Chain A
């Protein structure tokens, strides 16, 4: 056989022309946005199977196993109740503080874990990324799906807490479904942004706990939201009103807590508008931002 180091010597084409003639494509080329979304949709089975496997394996080496899915949010709520409810006595100004606090904690943790786990969505799956070619956006989406499954468990716990503390079941409870849908879209976008940032800057993982704690204090989880208006200058309060976790938490409280209706930080209509806007902005923006980095994720 002749030495084949020279591209198709008989044809006299450059390599690029040869490749074009036979319809070869540039390796690792980033598909167009629409095509990328279509491929991602084709990987939906992978995403659901992967998230289920992750949930199953995450607690597989503990004694109590899946019971921790219920115990973790409960313990969290108990600790915050001890500090802010009993020791700092925030509960005096909030009717039904326990339900108020638990709603905030559970909804906030959903966004918090989507962000912190999103940071390692790429770096933690380099083995998979370097072995197989698939739309990388499947990974941050999987992260959010794992958290969603845990959130649904928390929501069952929350419903019990809310009922036990004497809130009535109203028709508004149905609104928790669209609210969670908006928050899930927001979280998917957020974890995509964090995944791309985290794949470039390893230091981000060290900073995340502090960022998240600051965000927690700014989200009206642990204290009455009325304090925001009372203690901050009005421009700061107006900015804080747009804080996405606060919007979603207030929407959840609006849906579940009869006792909180008079104390909402914004009118329900405004809350829905802000929530919808955040879901669209973060969902679309995060997806586009992540897609633009698609080629680089294998580099590590």
Chain B
């Protein structure tokens, strides 16, 4: 651990003019998953478990992030890459404060907002109502919501093929849902915005627009994290990239270097 070898309180900070927004300090994340009906779930074995007071066998602990440390600064856009199951999404959830780390700590400025493709809003409600509820859930005032709601629907482009905004969200295609969610989340200025694969969905036109929006958010003094398997969109939007492999930080540096190394190993 690099920071532990450093002397404590070693003089004043050399002002590099950069304000940290996210400090991840030796974070370990362990979460429990339900394996589902994979055996040992018959009624008899469940009874046996209750009698002998052992833990359910279909719950397994996953050590998804193992001692990751880095500091993110104001105005940075950071890409997170790595193969499937390398702990990228888990790390984002830990930064968002949704999965408490088992060891170590995450320090953030303000409340980071996680924007993921899987995070569905309310499927039975219309797109319009989801916009209003989403904005209220982000803590906006009703007057502000009224003013901003048409812009959000306009930006998401869900009305390009007819009036979809008044239909329930369950009738949307997965791309449309992701676009609307991105539009809602990015309507508010976040100190720290965490994006999980959202730019990979949606058509070419929307991708261009959302990359533009990410740049705007970054310029308004926020920090953006982007998880994606599309190296192209990472190269386009991020100048710094972190490469995770099996929950361990493998490389951290300028996007070009890290992405080249990542692509060469494949």
Contact = CB atoms under 8 A, between A and B. Distances in A.
Nearest to A296: B100
Contacts of B132: 49
Contacts of A50: 133, 136
B124 A27 contact: no
A132 B137 contact: yes
Given A130-B119, A131-B119, A3 B252 contact: yes
A8 to B, nearest CB: 6
Given A8-B16, A22-B20, A46-B133, A28 B25 contact: no
B133 A28 contact: no
A22 B110 CA distance: 12
A174 interface: no
B71 A130 contact: no
Interface in A8-63: 8, 10-29, 42-43, 45-46, 49-50, 53, 57, 60
Interface stretch (B2-10, B154-162, B206-214, B225-233): B2-10
Contacts of B224: none
B236 to A, nearest CB: 18
A292 to B, nearest CB: 14
A295 interface: yes
A5 B72 CA distance: 9
Contact of B122 (A3, A23, A46, A53): A53
A21 B118 CA distance: 35
Contacts of A46: 133, 136-137
Nearest to B8: A14
Interface stretch (B37-45, B79-87, B89-97): B89-97
Nearest to B252: A5
A15 B97 contact: no
Nearest to B192: A27
A6 B100 contact: no
B218 interface: no
A134 interface: yes
B129 to A, nearest CB: 5
A29 B133 CA distance: 24
A16 B70 CA distance: 12
A3 B251 CA distance: 9
A232 interface: no
Contacts of A16: 23, 25, 105, 107
B112 to A, nearest CB: 7
Contact of A53 (B26, B94, B129): B129
Interface string B5-37: 011111111101001111111100001100000
Interface of A: 1, 3-8, 10-29, 42-43, 45-46, 49-50, 53, 57, 60, 127-134, 295-296, 298-299
21 contacts: A1-B254, A4-B252, A5-B69, A6-B2, A7-B69, A8-B16, A13-B8, A21-B13, A22-B19, A24-B22, A25-B109, A28-B97, A28-B98, A28-B100, A42-B139, A43-B137, A129-B98, A131-B185, A132-B134, A134-B139, A299-B31
